[in-house]
Structure 1
Amino acid sequence: MPAPERLPAPGVSVTGEHEDLLARGELTVVGRIREASNAVLLCTVAYEGTTADCVYKPVKGERPLWDFPDGNLARREVAAYLVSEATGWGLVPETVLRDGPYGEGMVQRWIDSPDPDEEAGGDGITDGGPGSGLLALVEGEEAAEGWKPVALAEVGEGRTALLVHADDPRLRRMAVLDAVINNGDRKGGHLLPTADGRLYGIDHGVTFHTEDKLRTLLWGWAGEPLTDEAREVLASLGAHLADGAPLATRLAELVTAAELAAVRDRVEQLLRSGTHPKPSGQWPAIPWPPV
């Protein structure tokens, strides 16, 4: 993997041509992704001769959740993108909040990823031995070299298999980002590797809660020391989250004051402990369904 881009100094806005296209372009709905729990529309966006595919999630199509404010998931998706950009890792596709054919919603660049049906049975998790995928179910109770154990899973007929994920620096960065934004839904299908070696995470609506809601398939580093890179990124992210910094100002428009304070606290706690977090035991550690 190439080294991540250097972080801009606090006070520098992070924008790009894709973000401008998503924010200003004309949206045309071409279909609906029916597997999603909320309304997710596949669109094209066109602006000044440039077109691209994107995903549009209108606020009107959000299903109410008992533990999150109604009509707020789109803003959390944008907030997750902004934090990702501030890390310099670029783990979340460009995402904006804007008006669309069905009202306000989040619009995110479409990511072309290898068909999971060809490699992992449609959910990003292979059912054979560890191969080229990022997640796998394997026999036995120990992970092979290059893989990290997550949990034993029931696979039917009284049998169990070990869920593992690759010991991959891209996944490790994603695990750090999820800890910062308190991601309550890091499923296998939310991880999108691309042909050029990048890895993106999508579906960040259930994030930024003040309570510990971290649910993920990326527990393999739990309790292990953070990398030097991660500590450097977290220290810089803390500066981006300081009062008056552009990132903090933008996040204050998307999440509550208490949630913004909680983000700062999580960054500080990660730096103090110097380790990846462990499951709290007060909240299911793995999302359901895991795919």
Structure 2
Amino acid sequence: MPSTPPGPADPAAREFVTRGRIDVEGRLVDASNVTLFCAIELDGVTGRVVYKPVSGERPLWDFPDGTLAGREVATAMISDASGLGAIPPTVLREGPFGPGMVQLWVETTDEEVVDVCAPAEVPEGWRTVLHAHDRLGEPAVLVHADHPGLRELAVLDIVVNNTDRKGGHLLTSADGRVYGVDHGICLHPDPKLRTVLWGWIGEPLPEDAVEKLQKLRADLDGRLGADLTEHLTTFEIRALAQRTDFLLAEAVYPEPGDDWRAIPWPLF
């Protein structure tokens, strides 16, 4: 292992977050569930991770208790198997407060990919999601960049039924990629997609995204489907396959339904 900690795209990062010794350094207080910022050390190499113990999960009315860490890991497994989107290396393991989700910390840049601004200030090429008014009554728009990494994360969110894709869950890294984090409330069998990434409604899916969806669908009937049973019910895996089938059949970015709130709040 190198003397510097592996980055999120480094194949060595999974072993690092799986085997390293974790020491809690602080808590991310804005998170709704207990989310701990930790140092991790393996073979003399030190880095940073996020650790979310199952014991610190807040009960939700529509998700079974104690399943959020597993859903984060399952979403990362789906991304890794298909190549859709970028999620930092994520595992379920023992930590200082019992089993939980451990994910490599991503060092971010100052680049923003989601914003709320005046209509005249929308950056060139960005996609508009929502027209509204700010607290002073002035016109405002929710917008996001037209970044290929965001396009793929939007596809991933559809198939995993992400219920909470906020702007703050999209991290730009020095390696030029946009990483998605916070996937604890994904993979519910009922339609619940809530996201800020609605900027491509009705447009064809990118060809490479279709190929990755095809790979995902095949893998769900094989090794991936079997591995996901550690974290998801058979019914949830079947619903995942059905969402993938539907997206492949339509081959376009869908529009939100009328049965649920399609944008998370707060937005960031």
Same fold (TM over 0.5): yes
Residue pairs, 1:217-256, within 5 angstroms: 217-242=196-221, 245-256=222-233
Structure 1 residues 16-31: aligned runs within 5 Å = 16-31=11-26
CA distance in 1, matches of 2:227, 2:157: 19
C-alpha contact (below 8 Å) 1:141/1:162 kept by paired residues: no
Q: Give yes or no for the alignment of 1:285 onto 2:259.
A: no
For 1:181, the equivalent position in structure 2 comes to 160
Residue 206 in structure 1 maps to residue 185 in structure 2: yes
**In the TM superposition, what is the alpha-carbon distance from 1:133 to its structure 2 partner?**
2.8
Larger mean Cα displacement after TM superposition, 269-278 or 144-153? 144-153
Q: What residue is the counterpart of 1:98 in the other structure?
A: 93
Question: 1:128 matched to which residue of 2?
Answer: none
CA offsets 1:70-101 (integer angstroms, 9 cap, x no match): 01100000001101111224511000001111
1:127-161 deviations in Å (ceiling 9; x for gaps):
xxxxx631233333996641111011331122231
Query: What whole-Å deviation, never above 9, does each CA across 1:212-257 have from its counterpart, x for those lacking one?
Result: 1100000001221111111111111111111xx2211111110111
Mapped partners of 1:246, 1:97: distance in 2:
18
8 Å CA contact 1:142–1:149 kept in 2: the answer is no
Paired amino acid for 1:69: P
Q: Which moved more, 1:20-29 or 1:71-80?
A: 20-29
1:40 aligns with 2:35: yes
**Deviating 4+ runs (over 4 angstroms):** 141-145
The answer to whether the 8 Å contact 2:85/2:153 transfers is no
Q: Percent identity?
A: 49
Inter-partner Cα distance in structure 2 for 1:260 and 1:67:
17
User: Match of 1:156, SS?
Assistant: coil
Task: Give yes or no for the alignment of 1:268 onto 2:263.
Answer: no
- Of the three residues 63, 79, 84, the one matched with 2:58 is 63
CA separation in 1, counterparts of 2:140 and 2:31?
Answer: 27
Give 1:198 shift: 1.1
Residue ranges of structure 1 left out of the alignment (5+ in a row): 1-14, 116-131
For the aligned residue pairs, the C-alpha RMSD in angstroms reads 1.7
Q: Which residue of 2 aligns with 1:158?
A: 137
The number of equivalent residue pairs is 259
Partner of 1:139: 118
SS of 1:234's partner is: helix
